[in-house]
Amino acid sequence: DTAVSQTPKYLVTQMGNDKSIKCEQNLGHDTMYWYKQDSKKFLKIMFSYNNKELIINETVPNRFSPKSPDKAHLNLHINSLELGDSAVYFCASSATAGSPNEQFFGPGTRLTVL
């Protein structure tokens, strides 16, 4: 059973389009995250939700909007895609925001903007 799953795995699209990436975890965790990994492999937090409440919102363009319909799902919608949005996006989850438990990562979604 996949613990943290993301769809799609690959996403190729044109500049200016709007796209969504979906994430689901079946670990019963309360907290979910979105990270962006750029072409140099640098990983940076974008957002985090705890029990559907936004708790971390790093400096990310307004074109990125996370949505958490329930604590098992955290989706990422991106409007007006730009070339610089090309990256691998990882979803992760952890037991609770304040616990020291490790974060479990999804397989990543490779977004390519042409």
User: What mask of x and - would describe binding to other proteins in positions 64 to 93, judged by CB under 8 A?
Assistant: ------------------------x-x-x-
39 binds other proteins (CB under 8 A): no
84 three-class SS:
helix
20 versus 57: smaller Cβ distance to other proteins: 57
Q: Omega of the bond prior to 100 within 30 degrees of 0, cis?
A: no
Tell which positions 1-30 bind other proteins, by CB under 8 A. none
Q: How many of the chain's residues bind other proteins (CB under 8 A)?
A: 27
The Cα 85–Cα 38 span in angstroms is 9
Residues 7, 23: Cα–Cα separation, whole Å: 7
| 48 scored as a contact of other proteins (CB under 8 A) | yes
Place of tokens 């409007």: 79
In contact, 62 and 74? CB cutoff 8 Å: no
Instruction: Output 47 or 85, the one with its CB closest to other proteins.
Output: 47
Alpha-carbon gap, residue 44 to 102, rounded angstroms = 16
CB of 62 to other proteins, least distance (A): 18
* Residues of this chain that bind other proteins (CB under 8 A): 31, 33, 35, 40-45, 48, 55-56, 58, 88, 90, 92, 97-98, 100-105, 107-108, 110
